[in-house]
């Protein structure tokens, strides 16, 4: 027998990403998001949900660009710091020890310590009641060679990504 629950955000698990925005020369920030996902294959696109009150929303709206950085499970402390402090009052790169490095096609920095980085350009913004959905084309992908398999594809077991569900972080692991 199933119990009916109230409508809520129970699609789970969802990936945990660090979205960097702004630019190397000007203000920059990192926001932890769990509302991110693939929305199109040709061209490759992602969508991220960001509250309009967030500093990162302001920077992404101004530049029309961002980078989705996929952290490893052992970067949980940095993920928590980036999700619990405001970039308006704190330099999250300095606070976490993460390194901002130039991207190839967008002004927003890559996070050097994240094994996978997706450079993105906003194509459309959908205004929703609590968040804005930034739909963006992936214009470049970077991956550490250490997370690639023999065919040159990302091996999630090597990348060790995080997931989020019911207020908790989870480490993704393959089924064997």
What pTM did the predictor assign?
0.95
What is the domain extent for residue 147? Answer: 14-171
- Segment 85-127, tens digit of pLDDT: 999 999 999 999 999 999 999 999 999 999 999 999 999 999 9
Mean pLDDT of the chain: 95
Give the residue among 169, 26, 24, 47 at the shortest CA–CA distance from 111: 24
User: What are the tokens at 165?
Assistant: 């569900």
Q: Is there a domain that residue 112 lies in?
A: yes
pLDDT class of 176 with cuts at 50, 70, 90: low
Give the residue among 62, 52, 74, 36 at the shortest CA–CA distance from 161: 74
CATH number for the domain harbouring residue 113: 2.30.110.10
Number of domains within the chain: 1
Q: Is there a domain that residue 5 lies in?
A: no
Q: Is there a domain that residue 2 lies in?
A: no
Q: Is there a domain that residue 123 lies in?
A: yes
DSSP state for residue 109 in the 8-state scheme: P
Q: Is there a domain that residue 9 lies in?
A: no
Distance CA 38, CA 25 (A): 29
User: What are the tokens at 143?
Assistant: 């991956």
């Amino acid at each position: 027998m199933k119990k009916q629950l109230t409508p809520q955000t129970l699609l789970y698990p969802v990936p945990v990403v660090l979205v960097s925005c702004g630019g190397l020369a000007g203000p920059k920030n990192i926001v932890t998001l769990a509302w991110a996902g693939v929305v199109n294959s040709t061209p490759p696109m992602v969508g991220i949900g960001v509250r309009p009150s967030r500093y990162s929303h302001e920077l992404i709206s101004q530049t029309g660009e961002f980078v989705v950085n996929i952290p490893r499970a052992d970067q949980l402390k940095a993920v928590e710091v980036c999700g619990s402090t405001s970039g308006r009052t704190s330099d999250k790169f300095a606070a976490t020890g993460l390194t901002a490095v130039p991207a190839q096609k967008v002004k927003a920095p890559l996070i050097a310590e994240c094994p996978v980085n997706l450079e993105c350009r906003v194509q459309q913004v959908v205004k929703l009641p609590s968040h804005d959905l930034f739909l963006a084309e992936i214009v470049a992908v970077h991956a550490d060679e250490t997370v690639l398999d023999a065919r040159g594809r990302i091996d999630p077991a090597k990348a060790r990504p995080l997931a989020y569900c019911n207020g908790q972080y989870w480490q993704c692991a393959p089924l064997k």
